[in-house]
Amino acid sequence: MAFFKSILFLLILLLSGISYANQPQLEKFRSVITTEFKGYNISDTESIQLYGAKYRKFINENLYWGEAGYGALFGERSGYLEGGVFIGRFFNTPNDLLIDIRFFTGAGGGGSAPQGGGFIIHPTIGIGKSMSNSVFFMVELGYMLFVNGDIESFSLGVSLNLNSWKLKQRRD
């Protein structure tokens, strides 16, 4: 009896036109959600510390783009914010370290900081280590430049990153 049910099931599948070729093809897309603490000097006598988040969306295995936003964590500059977009690339090293090179551009200001018009250019390089398949830690060194303002400084940041993957239907 089980044999006849199996044959009947196969016949129904064949006659109904269901086949693997007609099924949508799926692709796996990676993204990374990041929380970060960074700081830099906004004058010769004052530094600022910010807390923020980034969202990386991968174009291929290593190249990504995304958005980021930060706010002053404490100090005289409460109300100071930064936001923008970036593009970057990850490199894997033979000793399982991650290298991240990124270019951020956006705007920042508030809290009576000397940002001028607020246009930011902020290239960074980071080195990190995976703690698991889904979590990695990074330390980043960058150069913060407000193009038409008085802020120009090296920056230092630390971040905790969470990998996530989505399945999407392939576009042919």
pLDDT in tens, 131-168: 998 999 999 999 999 999 889 999 999 999 999 988 77
Asked whether the predicted pLDDT for residue 127 surpasses 70, the reply is yes
Per-residue pLDDT at 83 = 96
Determine, yes or no, domain membership for 52: yes
Determine, yes or no, domain membership for 47: yes
Determine, yes or no, domain membership for 1: no
Determine, yes or no, domain membership for 108: yes
Determine, yes or no, domain membership for 110: yes
pTM: 0.79
Token reading at 150: 């008085």
Cα–Cα distance for residue pair 91/120, rounded to 1 Å? 25
Structural domain count, the chain: 1
- 81: domain CATH number is 2.40.160.20
Determine, yes or no, domain membership for 6: no
Lowest model confidence (mean pLDDT) among 27-31, 58-62, 66-70, 158-162 = 27-31
Q: What digits encode the pLDDT tens for the residues 78-106?
A: 789 999 999 999 998 888 899 999 999 99
Determine, yes or no, domain membership for 9: no
Q: How far is CA 170 from CA 25, 33, 66, 156, 166, in A?
A: 5, 23, 21, 39, 12
Asked whether the predicted pLDDT for residue 21 surpasses 70, the reply is no
Range of the domain at 134: 25-169
pLDDT confidence band for 107 (50 / 70 / 90): very high
Determine, yes or no, domain membership for 18: no
